[in-house]
Amino acid sequence: MSATIRKTALHERHRQLGAKMTDFHGWDMPLYYTSILEEHKAVRQALGVFDISHMGQVIVSGPGALATLNGLMVSDLSQVAKGRACYTLMLNEQGGILDDVIIYALGDEDYLVIVNCGNRASDVEWMQAHRKGETAITDVSDGRSILAVQGPLACRVLEQILDARVTTLGRFGIAPIRTMGPDACIARTGYTGSDGFELFLPDRHAQRLWDLVLTQAKHLGALPVGLGARDTLRVEAGLRLYGTDMDAATTPVEAGLMWTVAMSKTSEFIGKGALAAQKQAGAARRFVGFELGQGPVPRTGMELSAEDGQRVGTVTSGTFSPMLNRPLGMGYVEPASAKAGSTLSLTVRSQRYAATVVKLPFWKEETRQSALSVSRPATLEKLP
């Protein structure tokens, strides 16, 4: 292990729990504690707690903050009200994806941008180089943690621990946790496909909350969850991973992420011209999800072929779905093979296995609490 490897504030907690650790972009992170399968099922059926403090946290503030972000990101940030968030992309001039991020509007001139840990330094440098007006761009990651509390019991457990009406927070809403200081927030976002929350906290509060959730909700089936199940959960939910399913050579057109792009917003954004040209000309490949009735788990780099045996694409992600009980994969194929229902074959050691293109996500929570679809004020009402 590298002498320069980084550790989160919860590193000792992971060691005490007997986690299998792994080097993830220079961070010593838990891969699993008990098993990937058990942790996956805990999130789908009860509750899982993730340490995602390796993610970068960047504050963009000042009178020019909105103009800066609208020039950098594909979405129209003027449509994101205070106390709300959006998933968006930052592109290069060729339309390639530099990173996928979530931006939280903390105030009229204050935004929290969550970036992938492997892109943290380059993202901040890129953002600094494209500042507009009076804008401060500050990497505030050090000394701050992020916990993800995900699963059908997340709302119930956090409501008890925080002593606040967490249910009033709508999907993609964010609110301050005033009892934990000015830098503490809770958002109803996540990377699992299940209902859940992400909490942005000073390190000392993250340690305390981690202990509280795992202690008070243990009898409900709560488990700590590592990067292994985080990956199987996000594949099951059809969510892309930067560096695996997309990169700086991939455009939103190819990645199936044009729904994030506001081509009609008044402000120009980096990469807009390249996207317009590709939309008109047509992309040479399309991102798809596919499933197998039987066969091996699709792995990155495996070959995808059409019915006639001609290679048409490559796998980028795959897993065996515990919820659907079959192998799932995602990757890029030629447009003619990208339509839902198309038949593909997966090549593994010269063997071919039949696969069918399906609409993403593979798995979707059938019922959500009604509060998820309601935008409410960004405050957590205290319980009586």
The CATH code for residues 57-140 is 3.30.70.1400
pLDDT of 371 reads 30
Tokens 């890129």 identify what position? 126
- For 315: left if phi > 0, alpha if psi spans -120 to 50, otherwise beta; the answer is beta
pLDDT of 300 reads 97
Instruction: Provide the sign of the torsion angle of the four alpha carbons 91, 92, 98, 101, taken in this order.
Output: negative
Q: Where are the alpha helices (DSSP H) in the chain?
A: 11-16, 36-45, 65-72, 120-129, 154-162, 203-216, 227-236, 252-255, 272-281
Homologous superfamily (CATH) of 11-55+142-236 is Probable tRNA modification gtpase trme; domain 1 (3.30.1360.120)
Per DSSP, the three-state class of 52 is coil
pLDDT of 164 reads 85
CB atoms under 10 Å from CB of 153, counted, come to 20
In 3D, which of 227, 201, 167, 195 has the Cα closest to residue 40? 227
Intervals of CATH 3.30.1360.120 along the chain: 11-55+142-236
Q: CA–CA distance from 158 to each of 123, 152, 172, 201, 377 (Å)?
A: 32, 11, 17, 14, 18
Q: How far apart are CA 128 and CA 122, in angstroms?
A: 10
DSSP sequence for 169-195: SPTTBEEE-GGG-TT-EEES--SSSSS
Q: Which residues are bridge partners to 88 per DSSP?
A: 101
Q: 284-358: which CATH number, 1.10.1660.10, 3.40.50.720, 2.40.30.110, 3.40.50.2300?
A: 2.40.30.110
Per DSSP, the three-state class of 88 is strand
* Tokens of residue 144, six digits: 């701050």
Per-residue pLDDT of the chain (384 residues; tens, 9 = 90+): 446 899 999 999 999 999 999 999 999 999 999 999 999 999 999 999 999 999 999 999 999 999 999 999 999 999 999 999 999 999 999 999 999 999 999 999 999 999 999 999 999 999 999 999 999 999 999 999 999 999 999 999 999 999 888 999 999 999 999 889 888 999 999 999 999 999 999 999 999 999 999 999 999 999 999 999 999 999 999 999 999 999 999 999 999 999 999 999 998 999 999 999 999 999 999 999 999 999 999 999 999 999 889 999 999 999 999 999 999 999 999 999 999 999 999 999 889 999 999 999 999 986 443 332 233 333 444 433
pLDDT of 367 reads 40
Intervals of CATH 3.30.70.1400 along the chain: 57-140
pLDDT of 376 reads 35
Intervals of CATH 2.40.30.110 along the chain: 284-358
Rg (CA), the chain: 21
